[in-house]
Structure 1
Amino acid sequence: MRSVPWFAAAGAALVASAVLVYAVMLTGIRPAHAAVGLRVSGTDIVEANGQKFVMRGVNHPHVWYTGQTGSFADIKALGANTVRVVLGSGKRWGPSNDVAQVISLCKQNRLICVLEVHDTTGYGEEGAAASLDEAVNYWIGQKSALVGQENHVVINIGNEPIGNTNAGQWTGATTAAIQKMRANGFEHLLMVDAPNWGQDWQYVMRDNAQTILNADSRRNTVLSIHMYAVFNTATAITDYLNRFRANGWPLVIGEFGWRFNTGEVDHDTLLSEADSRGLGYLGWSWSGNTDPILDMATSFDRTRLTTWGQRIFNGANGIKATAREATIYGGPTPTVTPTVTPTVTPTITPTPSGGCRVTYEMNAWNSGFTTNITITNTGAAATSGWRLAFALPAGQVITGGWGATYTPASGQVTATNAAWNGNLAPGGSTSVGFQATHTGNTAEPAAFTLNGAACQVA
């Protein structure tokens, strides 16, 4: 290579630098090669090397359980590539001054870290909530722990930042928050939650998405929808996602639950659609909920996954099947074609079971109850499909279930496995359950059989 005089090289560098600065001044947009860390590219999130990254993970309620630091390793061990960590600004919870330690735990466990301030939840309707501006002030106070972590950290400015009262204020508040973050030097990928407690049922985020994206001088903001009871049908889910895809807006599903009764989110459709569209998702939540039906792990124990935990980690289109580790940690770089699981009910020919154990946990109230049933294969052979039979006491009628199909709704009931949990290895277990009504009799079934073999009742 022919050498270039130092003054010629320096002059070329100065010209190039001046052109870059001028371009940024004119457009407010940095060229793609100047982006720092995780960033938006069209509808996708990509890493600094341009590799697409699809979030597959769960929410961890760190601010309320700061001692549960082992959860990061447990979530990773179950296949996740991302964890959304609940923090507090000090307005309602916290303050979380351990941001550096949280980021270190994420990096030690090869997880992308989505950090969120939870105090903003329901602002305008919840009197104790913090404003988005207060959340930004918290991030500014934590800046020293965040700068330089752009490859590993996404800043979710505030959780569900507006309630159902005057949801229209979300647009102005979110615009101001993004601009204040950028004015204070944050280069990170920003995530913004929808109003209406995250569910956007008045479509404020959907109808103002472009305004929000344009507000970011770095063009590095992703929108986040939370899907619960508003999204209890396939139509509600697909219609919402289609609007974002048609307009080329980046979106992740930052929280969602599961269909533990007929009025809740159609999680099967959500997972399938997210996989086929290459959308990131983060389920709520790992453990510690006041309503434990949303816990994925009982008492933060990854060996005691609930029905919801089994479904999101091990089910069709779930985390284990679809997560790819970020390349910043050495994960694979090939382009991954999402798989679409057809909605076909398989013909099940159960194999004989050599032994089984059933744990039946009931939570009853004046006219109804829910149950969680843990089935463990204590035999020497694996099952390839199972049927659990039991007699419901008089007056009890099943109104909805999860993890299995229950027929009939009363009397002598047979629970047949779902497509994703039919194979139980020796020592393996699965958790299923149902919701039911009663007329005063809350007795539990006296006996269970699995594929015709009597089970021990724990």
Structure 2
Amino acid sequence: MRRRLATAAGALLAIAASLLAVPSTAHAQSQAEQGFHVSDGRLLDANGKDFVLRGVNHAHAWYPTRTPQALKDIKALGANSVRVVLATGDRWTKNGAADVAAVVTQCKQNRLVCVLEAHDTTGYGEQAGAVSLSRAVDYWLSIQDVLKGQEKYVILNLGNEPHGNSGYTAWTSDTQNAIKRMRDAGFDHTLMADAPNWGQDWAFTMRDNAAKVFAGDPDRNTVFSIHMYGVFDTANEVNDYLNRFTSQHLPLAIGEFGNAHSDGDPDEDAIMAAAQRQGVGYLGWSWSGNGGGVEYLDLATDFDASRLSAWGRRLFEGANGIKQTSREASVFASGPADGSCAVSYRLSDWGSSFNADVTIRNTGTTAVKGWRLDFAFPGQQKINSAWNARTAQDGSQVRATNESWTETIPVGGSVSFGFNGSSTGTNGVPASFALNGVGCAKS
């Protein structure tokens, strides 16, 4: 159960300039070389490029067999990240090291930033069986070996909604201690800290203590996460909360939100608009598989990407939505240099329908592992089905991404895919192609 705050919050905690001190230049450079890092309240990737989360949550802990296809579908719909539910083994069956390693690999194959979260902490102090943040750290330590070296691709969300509406004032010390243990153990990843009060921070414990917690991280590499449900049912509440963080240059993401909830009706339009305006990341809840009366939060019906719910269409396709605002992390832009790829597009046109066969050739000196081909139709063409690649279309813009069996383009080699479509008016060959964001020659 999530409660609204009935009265206005107290004054914002004064913040000493020293609390927002940044790491030394040498240490900051070391972080940048390793992976994601925070600078002046912004999340940057390992290339020093601004990165804004635009993705969804996926309940891997309960639906592990669904994960490979879910990640492909989530990417095809335009997301740049996915928050993956993991279990520590205290409330649900543990997701062990091998399983987590596989999830990270699948995220990377789909060019998705992986936000891994320990879910067994949900509602600690109020929910029976929920465990402490300290116990969540034990879990991260148990799988540390498979997370080392993944700092460019993985963010670690310490524990989901780590306090309910009882004992939540312990959030500050509990979070500080968890961060300290993670850093002492050698974790260099960006860490994400969820708010208490079932993630909604109606008592403003996280809001008023975030600067202290951030300053206590020796790496200054913690992002705070607010979950927006019924507590955030007006634009004023949404904007005020985000402003409190961005005005202090404190990094914030909206780790969960929906278009409806049992505790009230969140203003998803205001949430998405404010997030876009202020450059705050968001991750919608959730891909599919919700139960217990909140099935309406499924973005895809029965894990079927072709059957998006009204909430799914709003999140992916609506104003300030994922398709409109998502930008892929630059660490995935590892394709060939300009001029070291070539694309042929062979068109078989029957008037109102057509087939296109596309071949991508690697004319460079390094293999391409994981690819995305972008192009624009010259007329009113629409893709109906594809083979050997996954396609997503937004108006005339098309993005094709590899299947597992077409993932690698060796030096001097090629991969081919095709699609069937319909058209009105004159059909034609796209004017240009870009492989992983870099232009290719036409052949």
Tell me if both proteins adopt one fold, taking TM over 0.5 as the criterion: yes
Name the residue aligned to 2:65: 67
- 1:74-113 matches, within 5 Å, as 74-97=73-96, 98-113=99-114
Q: 1:254 touches 1:282 (CA, 8 Å); kept in 2?
A: yes
Pairing 1:302–2:305 present = yes
How big is the shift at 1:111?
0.2
Name the residue aligned to 2:188: 187
Name the residue aligned to 2:8: none
Q: For the residues of structure 1 that align with 2:108 and 2:23, how far apart are their CA atoms?
A: 32
Pairing 1:286–2:287 present = yes
How big is the shift at 1:48?
1.3
Structure 2, unmatched stretches of 5+, are 1-20, 336-379, 382-394, 396-443
- 1:9-408 matches, within 5 Å, as 29=24, 31-35=27-31, 36-69=34-67, 70-97=69-96, 98-259=99-260, 263-290=264-291, 291-330=294-333
Q: 1:232 touches 1:262 (CA, 8 Å); kept in 2?
A: no
Q: 2:230 touches 2:261 (CA, 8 Å); kept in 1?
A: no
Q: 2:121 touches 2:161 (CA, 8 Å); kept in 1?
A: yes
CA 207–111 in structure 1, closer or farther in 2 if over 3 Å, else same: same
How big is the shift at 1:211?
1.2
How big is the shift at 1:296?
0.3
- TM-score (norm. length: structure 1): 0.66
Supply the AA of the counterpart residue of 1:177. A
Q: Secondary structure at the match of 1:40?
A: strand
CA 63–317 in structure 1, closer or farther in 2 if over 3 Å, else same: same
Q: For the residues of structure 1 that align with 2:333 and 2:126, how far apart are their CA atoms?
A: 44
How big is the shift at 1:127?
2.4
Q: For the residues of structure 2 that align with 1:261 and 1:90, how far apart are their CA atoms?
A: 28
How big is the shift at 1:34?
1.4
Equivalent pairs, count:
310
Deviating more after overlay: 137-146 vs 237-246: 237-246
Q: 2:55 touches 2:82 (CA, 8 Å); kept in 1?
A: yes
Q: For the residues of structure 1 that align with 2:261 and 2:93, how far apart are their CA atoms?
A: 31
- What CA deviation, in whole Å up to 9, does each residue of 1:302-339 have, x standing for no partner? 0000000000000010000000011111189xxxxxxx
Q: 1:325 touches 1:331 (CA, 8 Å); kept in 2?
A: no
Supply the AA of the counterpart residue of 1:93. W
Q: Secondary structure at the match of 1:168?
A: helix
RMSD: 2.1
- What CA deviation, in whole Å up to 9, does each residue of 1:160-192 have, x standing for no partner? 001100210111100000000000000000000
- What CA deviation, in whole Å up to 9, does each residue of 1:205-232 have, x standing for no partner? 0010111101111110000000000000
Q: 2:229 touches 2:264 (CA, 8 Å); kept in 1?
A: no
Supply the AA of the counterpart residue of 1:142. I
Q: 2:42 touches 2:249 (CA, 8 Å); kept in 1?
A: no
Q: 2:115 touches 2:156 (CA, 8 Å); kept in 1?
A: yes
Q: 2:299 touches 2:312 (CA, 8 Å); kept in 1?
A: yes
Q: For the residues of structure 1 that align with 2:261 and 2:101, how far apart are their CA atoms?
A: 36
Supply the AA of the counterpart residue of 2:126. E
How big is the shift at 1:260?
7.2
Supply the AA of the counterpart residue of 2:28. A
Supply the AA of the counterpart residue of 2:123. G
- What CA deviation, in whole Å up to 9, does each residue of 1:90-141 have, x standing for no partner? 0001200111000001001000000000000000111200110000000000
Q: 1:120 touches 1:132 (CA, 8 Å); kept in 2?
A: yes
Supply the AA of the counterpart residue of 1:322. T
Supply the AA of the counterpart residue of 2:202. W
Q: Secondary structure at the match of 1:155?
A: strand
Q: For the residues of structure 2 that align with 1:298 and 1:246, how far apart are their CA atoms?
A: 39
Structure 1 segments of 4+ aligned residues over 6 angstroms from their partners: none
- TM-score (norm. length: structure 2): 0.68
CA 322–91 in structure 1, closer or farther in 2 if over 3 Å, else same: same
How big is the shift at 1:248?
1.3
Q: 1:61 touches 1:85 (CA, 8 Å); kept in 2?
A: yes
Which has the higher Rg, Structure 1 or Structure 2?
1
Supply the AA of the counterpart residue of 1:34. S
How big is the shift at 1:245?
1.5
Q: For the residues of structure 2 that align with 1:140 and 1:200, how far apart are their CA atoms?
A: 27
Q: Secondary structure at the match of 1:252?
A: strand
How big is the shift at 1:43?
1.5
Deviating more after overlay: 151-160 vs 31-40: 31-40
Q: 2:22 touches 2:220 (CA, 8 Å); kept in 1?
A: no
Q: For the residues of structure 2 that align with 1:41 and 1:28, how far apart are their CA atoms?
A: 9
Q: For the residues of structure 2 that align with 1:59 and 1:157, how far apart are their CA atoms?
A: 15
Relative contact order: is structure 1 or structure 2 higher (C-alpha 8 Å, sep ≥ 6)? 2
- What CA deviation, in whole Å up to 9, does each residue of 1:249-287 have, x standing for no partner? 110000001147993110001101111111100000000
Name the residue aligned to 2:4: none
- What CA deviation, in whole Å up to 9, does each residue of 1:328-362 have, x standing for no partner? 11189xxxxxxxxxxxxxxxxxxxxxxxxxxxxxx
Q: Secondary structure at the match of 2:308?
A: coil
Q: 1:117 touches 1:158 (CA, 8 Å); kept in 2?
A: yes
Q: For the residues of structure 2 that align with 1:163 and 1:33, how far apart are their CA atoms?
A: 38
Q: For the residues of structure 2 that align with 1:94 and 1:216, how far apart are their CA atoms?
A: 31
Name the residue aligned to 1:339: none
CA 27–193 in structure 1, closer or farther in 2 if over 3 Å, else same: closer
CA 230–262 in structure 1, closer or farther in 2 if over 3 Å, else same: closer
Q: Percent identity?
A: 53
Supply the AA of the counterpart residue of 2:61. V
Q: For the residues of structure 2 that align with 1:195 and 1:262, how far apart are their CA atoms?
A: 16
Structure 1, unmatched stretches of 5+, are 1-25, 333-380, 383-422, 424-458
Q: 1:170 touches 1:204 (CA, 8 Å); kept in 2?
A: yes
